[in-house]
Amino acid sequence: MSSSARPKPSRKSSGNHRSTLSLTRTEVTIHVYDLLPPGKVATVLWAIGSSLLHTGVVIGDREYAYGGHDRRDLTGVYWTKPGQEPPGGTFKQAILHGFSFRPEEELEAIIQEASHEFQGTSYNLLTKNCNHFTSYLCEKLTGRPAPSYLNRAASIGVALPCVVPREWIAPPDYDTADGELLDEEFEDEGASMLRHDRERERHRTAEEARGWENESYSAGSSRSDQGIARGPIRYEAGNLAPRLVNIAETDSSGRPIPPAERAPLPKNLT
């Protein structure tokens, strides 16, 4: 058959090919962090796939994760810069889980849906932790859940602490990465509650100072002042950022969450 007689591709098939190539392909990557301190135990558990792990889902230049807090009707989903280690965590690996071919608007809608599904007060060490969120979001984006070994510790009944930083308690559309508060003019719940805590703390400190200067400062007024403040911000020594102690101390089942996994202070308070 001569070259002139060969069938030519139809315009329709060429158009479909170009349309396929023009689809947006977004990588969906899982970042894995070991919550055990480096040592022999952590090495052995990692080798057998039974480590205490925290995970986040990287989409573009954001890493989405989930944690617990005590504010009702507020999402527990937050985002950070990819690879930013949680308090006490050590970055272990990045897993290219797959790709999403959805447009950006659909990706945002899926993330918003996940943020409504995973409320901060619903966090549970065994049944609804950061790894459950990772698997949920991965399945929504790629059709496949995250590898089951990531949540093996919780599946065998080991408490796995993952707590949302206090200054990151906000819907994931807003930039609160690097432990920085939202812009002061934006009155979201996360920023305002932290400012109110700071104001109460300053008020409590000022009252105590006046009490030391005034010998007639009574025990009754001291008790009243304690009723105003939820408690002082307590700093703990160590090579990690100082942490707010009085955030969620227990999960939805009342299991205690270790202080090492509570929220780091924002930079302007350290």
35: domain CATH number? 3.90.1720.30
The pLDDT assigned to 23 comes to 72
pLDDT band at residue 88 using 50, 70 and 90 as cut-offs: confident
- Structural domain of 223: 189-269
**Which is higher by pLDDT, 189 or 46?**
46
Task: Tell me, yes or no, whether 152 and 215 share the same domain.
Answer: no
The pLDDT assigned to 16 comes to 54
Residue 130 annotated in active site: yes
Per-residue model confidence as pLDDT tens digits over 46-56: 888 878 899 99
The token pair at 239 is 């090579």
Residue 62 dihedral angles phi and psi, to the nearest 5°:
-130, 145
Is 1 among the domain residues? no
pLDDT over 90 at 195, yes or no: no
Residue 26 dihedral angles phi and psi, to the nearest 5°:
-110, 125
Task: Identify which of 46, 161, 32 has the alpha carbon closest to the alpha carbon of residue 92.
Answer: 32
pLDDT band at residue 74 using 50, 70 and 90 as cut-offs: confident
**Which is higher by pLDDT, 80 or 213?**
80
Task: Tell me, yes or no, whether 193 and 263 share the same domain.
Answer: yes
Q: Which amino acid is at 103?
A: P
Task: Tell me, yes or no, whether 157 and 239 share the same domain.
Answer: no
Per-residue model confidence as pLDDT tens digits over 100-159: 999 999 999 999 999 999 998 888 888 899 999 999 999 999 999 999 999 988 877 655
Dihedral sign computed on CA atoms, order 80, 81, 82, 84: negative
Q: 21-41: b or e for each residue (b if 16 or more CB lie within 10 Å)?
A: eeeeebebbbbbbbbbeeeee
Terminal Cα-to-Cα distance of the chain (whole angstroms)? 79
Is 170 among the domain residues? no
Is 207 among the domain residues? yes
Is 183 among the domain residues? no
Which residue among the candidates 31, 54, 69, 97 is catalytic per the annotation?
54
Per-residue model confidence as pLDDT tens digits over 197-245: 556 655 565 565 555 444 433 444 443 344 333 333 232 333 333 333 3
Out of 112, 132, 165, a domain closes at 165
**Which is higher by pLDDT, 242 or 249?**
249
Task: Tell me, yes or no, whether 260 and 193 share the same domain.
Answer: yes
Task: Tell me, yes or no, whether 138 and 40 share the same domain.
Answer: yes
The pLDDT assigned to 211 comes to 52
The pLDDT assigned to 138 comes to 98
Task: Tell me, yes or no, whether 159 and 31 share the same domain.
Answer: yes
Beta bridge partner(s), residue 163: 68
The token pair at 258 is 């270790």
CA–CA separation, 133 vs 115, rounded Å? Answer: 9
- Helices marked H in the chain: 11-22, 40-47, 104-117, 130-142, 152-155, 189-213, 219-228
Dihedral sign computed on CA atoms, order 34, 130, 104, 184: negative
Is 8 among the domain residues? no
The pLDDT assigned to 251 comes to 60
Is 182 among the domain residues? no
Out of 165, 181, 203, a domain closes at 165
Question: Which of 19-23, 94-98, 161-165, 232-236 shows the lowest mean pLDDT across its residues?
Answer: 232-236
Q: How many structural domains does the chain have?
A: 2
Q: What is the largest CA-CA distance in the chain?
A: 111
Which residue among the candidates 69, 130, 138, 162 is catalytic per the annotation?
130
Residue 54 annotated in active site: yes
Residue 88 CB contacts under 8 Å (≥ 6 apart), including other chains? 35, 37, 240, 260, 261
Task: Tell me, yes or no, whether 123 and 213 share the same domain.
Answer: no
